[in-house]
Structure 1
Amino acid sequence: MKNIIEVKDLRKEFKAYSSRQGLTGAFRDLLTRKYKIVPAVNDISFSVKQGEMVGYIGENGAGKSTSIKMLTGILTPTSGNVLVNGMNPHKERESFVRTIGVVFGQRSQLWWDIAVQESFRLLKKVYKVSDADYNEHMDHVIKTLDIGPLLDKPVRKLSLGQRMRCELAAALIHNPPLLFLDEPTIGLDVLVKLKIREFLKEMNEKYKTTILLTTHDLTDIEALCERVVMLDEGKIIYDGALEKLRQHWGEGKQIQFQFAEEIKGEQLNFLTADLDVIWQMGEGVNVWTAIIKDQEFQMSELIGRVVGVHKISDLSVNEISTEEVIRSIYEKGEALGS
């Protein structure tokens, strides 16, 4: 299967200006500005095959949006090579944009004051989509996303969830082989998120649409992506299967205790000092969570000790969540090979 995205040693640097103090410093800044070169994306390399759904994740400032903008041709790289759909995004921009769809959660490609269907018709002209192709493809998209009743409404009168469904439909008018999604479910309620996830799965299965998804909502990643690319300070620290990431970093369980009386962390740490356990204060009154390695002896020993000394009103055992796994990786600041 061919590569839709090929990135080799991609780098983007920005000048970060700093101001001198005082009035004298302000005058000096008029003549000469002090600056330093900051790499936002630091020599990253990866590829994405046709039909893959890849989660592109990282903390704020990790370089996600900058690299997405280079992949979509909005920014020119400082150095390195980018091929998307066999084209250089910033050098072959006019022909390139006809082969991708882009949805930015906080930006709109729809015209604010006109009806949604008028925006669709304008985009149809821009992408030079024939009437037959438009009707065949968009009838399915409109029905699946349940936006038929919204087509006559101006965009400004839509709720956030309604607008995001229309934005997604607009990005697919020309049925692109590659879809970039940057925070597509931000601020949406659970039902709308589920509808969008199911739709993306269907598009991927029906048309083999390749999807690169950037989001802070890890439930989106878990629902859609088998592979994740993780960035930190402009570098890729993990590129591989989500399941492998969970197995490597998420080994263990969380045991949540709700105590019948107030308990201090020092008491719990003293009680389990010889066990490999981390105690965290949970949400709720007198709730503490123990994070342990997944060993039956440790679990039974821990529960036995706690129950034998303190009264508890509730207890639950959970797997380590993907969110906890990601947090652990960033806190430790370690790279993990694919």
Structure 2
Amino acid sequence: PLTGGPFTLDPRALAVMLLHLAYSVATYLVVRQQLATATRIATVSTWADVLFGASIALVTEGANSPFYVFFAFAVLAAGFRAGLRRAMMVTGASVALYLSLILVSRPEGLHFYIMRPAYLAITGYLVGYLGEQRMILESRIRELEAASQRERIARSLHDGYVQALAGVNLRLATSRELLRRGQTEEAFVELTELQAGVNREHDELRAYIRSLVDLEPPPAPPTLGDGTRFSIRAHFDGSLLLVEHVLQIMLEGARNVRRHARADSAVITADAVGEKVRITIEDDGVGFATGAAPPWSIASRAAELRGEVRVGRGAHAGGHVQIELPEC
């Protein structure tokens, strides 16, 4: 019959276990207090784990020996932290240490103990391979995220600030022509509006740059269900240049409505009327003040194609902008 008795532990094994506990607490404190770099801590702790595994194997034996856990932990940590190469280095060192202990202390039992380092080697390879694949996947994800960010930045610069600079160039050309004709009052008004537009774009660009370096949190992007509801219709013929300008004007109109109109709904249309293309932007928001100038980003595009922009009120309350462009 089975009989119980007091649990006994070899004093040397107990000493190694207690030493490992002290080492673990010391490592935790070093990490918590940031007394060393993460790379240095990882390197030292990995090889310390291997040495502790060899020490446990030296002072314990039999099926209940916990040495395998210590060796396996070192291999797992190396594999998932640094990939296949580091995992195989740690695995090779662990297998070599254990085989050396077998040859020195139990040479007659080599045929019995040889499978333990074999299992450890297989485990080390599998863990290293999985760790390497994880690192490759994370690297690929970072590359895709970086490419997505570069594409977003390029799109924002092209659709926003590059177009704004093109508008500035057009309005400067208009001001120069007014000055050449001696129409100083008109040129002064044009330059005043241009200055206000440049200041506004400068503030937006500065906020955008600060958001890229996380100096201040960027505004939360609108979701599909938030903000103004738009109804869009376009039916006209023209060259690629005309199509680009019409679509950009419609896009800029939609952005202006969302930013400034505080509207619940808006209608943007582009239709062929005779030999012209008429773009209409209407919303149910706050509308324009009496005598307000048209949005300069839209006006600059219309001016480039010798078009006209009119601002006022339509059949309903809210804002009303009408742009007419000659077909080309």
TM range (shorter): under 0.3
TM-score if structure 2 supplies the norm length?
Answer: 0.22
Higher relative contact order (CA 8 A, sep 6+): 1
Structure number with higher strand proportion: 1
